[in-house]
Structure formats: structure tokens, C-alpha cells
Structure 1
Amino acid sequence: MSLGDERESSGGYGGTGQTRTRLPDTDPDSYGTQRRGPRSSSRGLVTVVGVVVLLIAAIAFANRGDGDPADDPTTNKPEAAATAPTGKQPVDAKAAGIPTGYAHDRQGAQSAATNYGIALGSADMYDLEKRHAIVNTVYAPDVATAQLPDFDQAYSGESFLEKLGLDKNGAAPSGQTFVSRVIPVGTKVTSYSDSDATVALWYTSLFGLSGESSRNPVTESWYTTTYRLKWVGGDWKVVDFTQKEGPVPVGRDQRASTAEDMTKAVEEYGGFTYAR
């Protein structure tokens, strides 16, 4: 949920009035080369060389005669079997492009929180029509109705959009691509009952404008958003959420990609549907 710092004074969503969301820090002077804060001078450049070993299995074919197949020593060997997958399969139903119809259990609640978090953290939230479709899909009906005006105010404020480098309709300038993407790392169920579930989603997010002239380059941030879900109408729906920063891993010494490479990656690599 990559919203601006200025929203901290505008109140929360989901009925608590306490949720705060923050826009990842941006560096107006370069494209991603100063994404992270100063590092300790004692930590030099570490080069990690990965060695990939390809194991090639040689298959010997025995000459087969016209005799009884039982004479072939390979006949009685057990057949290889793939490791059986575990957990619930991804759901088939979708609403507004968002997976819906989750299992009525802990795994279903985790899948719902993850996929809903991806939708709520996407660039589509900055488009009025798409935002309404997302909120009406992931939130419980009564909560969605009550909170839509707050979402519209937060995502449509001209000063907020201008700070991000977007126009009043939430669109990026010509020649640039607006990036707002949530990449889940893991989930944790902190409470569960047949009617309610609380799921913490740990994720990294990409946020900013990709383009040669961008003054808000795409940066990486880490957050944990905790969703309170309710079983409504045969599915899990969001009724509230809170957000905090981190846990944040130590960044590696990798060169930032060019604006062209970042734009190409965002356009070519789609997201996933997650399920436990």
C-alpha cells in the first residue's frame, strides 16, 4: 500500500481511524542509484559467484530380444513419481480481475489476504473506476460503501498525485511508466475462527516512475500489512487493516538497472495468483 506521507494526517481506512500508510522515500536526483541509506564503511563490496552444476544422467538402453519382458531387469523397477503438491490450489473464480472464492479455512484466509494485498497495492488503485472495482471486490460490502469516499480522497488529491509525478487522473507523464507493485514474501495467521481471521502479509513493494526523465525513480520498500478478514457471502473479505515498515533485509551491492530495463521488466513480467 504505497501511499503518501501526507496521508498520515488524513486518518485511516477500514473503520479504525488509526491506519497509516507511507510512500517509499524517493531520490529526485538519480534513477535508483541512491535507493538505500548510507552503509557502514567497514562493509566493502562483496562479490558472490554462483556456480551452477548441471547433473546429466546417462541412460543406457539394453538390447531387447523377443523373449519374455519379465527377463528385462528394468521391468520390475518402481516408476518415478513427482512430489505431490500440498496446500489449496489457486481459486478459479475472479471478480474485477481479482481471485475470489477462497476456502473456508486458514489457508483460504492467507490466500485471500495475499491476493487482496496485491490488488490494493497496484497502480490500478490510482484510477477511479478500477479503484472502485477493487475496493468493492476485496472489502466486505458495508465496509466498502463506508470507506470508498476516504479512498477516493486519498488517491485523488491533486497535491498527492503531483508529488508522485502523476496527473489528476493518476496517469504517468508521456514516456514514463507508473509502477506500484506488491511482491509477497510470506503470510502468518495471528488469529482464526469460522467467521473471522487475522492475517499478516510480509512483502516488498516497487513504487515510482520509470523513465529517463523521472524524478521519482522506482524504489524498493518492505512492509507488513495485517488484514482482518470476515467470512461474508461464502468468501473472505477485508474489514480492516494496519501497516508497519519491515522487516527489512540488508541490501546487496547490486547495480541499479537503467530506466529502460526497469520499464521493460514491468511491462513484460506479469504478477501471480497466490494460494497456500
Structure 2
Amino acid sequence: MSVPPSLSPVELAGIGALSGVVEVAIQQPTVSWKNSIQQGRPISFNPMICYRGVFINAASIAPITCTQFGASRAFENLIVDEGQPVSDAVKVASSTCAGVVSAGICTPSELIMIQQQKHGGSLLSTARNLLSTHGFSIFSRGAMPCIAREAVWAPCYLSVVPIFNEKLSNFEIFKGSPYASWATGATLAGLIGATCTQPLDVIKTRMQANLEPGTFNSFIRTAKVVAQDGALFAGLIPRGLRIVGATFILSSTKDVLVNKALQMKATV
């Protein structure tokens, strides 16, 4: 569903934070498997290992989706005058900008999670070790591919799903089956997001997993090495499953919470 203009950026930010926590709680193992494949480590189905780093992931995803939901509405309000309809182009542009903004949270939090999954230890000890060993600048490691990834991924679930749903619902095959058009749109948006952002995610993971001086310090050099290794789409299956699942979970959770928020506002 399209988000009604009556909901403010702050209200949508809260909805985004809750949606993000739900998504991580369900899908953390796919993150672990994806990172293991991209780093050339064996995957584990042990829940104690699969859910290693879940707290930093949840603690990071909540503000990320909070930022993406809220900033997308804020950008819409900047572009479109109050009471005017929001075009599909504006929705996509606003959610793209929101994705770029959210990369400021994604980059350091994913660095900590990847290092925690690689070496073990607590969240705080991992962050302290990174700071003492590499300095504060290490928390910007992988920022460029992360910005590009989020600029593509955020509009996929925030804007493309409702756009696809609206377009698909006009086809005869989907008439009378609103869930079918929504599910098809969410699947297509998830597949597009996963495929288009996978190389960027692999490059970011390699940069954040290998912190010693050398090849992986640079986005361009890392991209060349990953391409030469034929690994640009490494981990696509677990990450693709996660992205498609995240598209479903975030979109459906958003719809439920938006309806609840509208009901609460109507009773006030």
C-alpha cells in the first residue's frame, strides 16, 4: 500500500525501526551464511554461530530502516507541496536519497558485525579492538559500496513494491487477488534489488573483512580482485533469499503498522 500523506516522517521513522527489528529477528542466519560465503569460510547451521552479531545487526537495522522510512517521507515533503499528489518518480527519488543517508549507519555497524562474526567476542570488545587498532577512521571502511548499495536497495522495498502492485493489479490475471499482485510485486522488487546490489555487497564485505593494509583498502582495487576471482555474485543465493524475504517482511510489516497508526490517529 502507498503510505498516506497524513503520516509524518517521525511516525514513519518509528514504523521503520519496528519493521527492521522484525526482519532481522527472522533472517539473521542468511546474513551469517552470506558473509561466510563471501569471505570463503564454511557456513554453519549452529544457531549460536548463525545468530552471532544479531544484536549489532538489529541495533543497526532499526535506525537504518527508521532513517529510510522517515527520510523518504521528509524528502517527499521537500519536493512536493502539501496536498499535492506524489508521483512515482518522486517516490523513487526520495527513497533513493533516504538510502544514501542511511549508509552513514550501515557502514560502521556492518563492519563491526562482520568482524564479530569472523573473530568472535562481544559487540563492545569488537568495537573497542577496531578503534584501538585502526583508529576512528576504520568505521568508514566500505562506505562507497555501501552508499551505492543502499541507494538501490531502499527504493526497491519502499517505492517499487507499491508501484509494481498498482501496475500489476490492472492485469486481468490479478483482478480479485490483491495479495497475488502484491506478492508478485514484492518478489520482483526483491530479485531486482538483490541482483543489482550483489556485486556492491561483495566488495563491501571484502573491504570490511580484510582490514590489513593492501589491496582491500581501495574500492577500485577490491572490485578488480573480486571480479578476477569471479566472485561478484558470491553469496547471491543466501543474500537473494534474504533480500526477497526482507522485501516481503518490511513491506507487510509496514502495511500492518501504518494501518494501526491510522486507526490510532482516527480515534484521537
TM-score in terms of structure 2 length: 0.29
Answer with 1 or 2: which has the greater Rg: 1
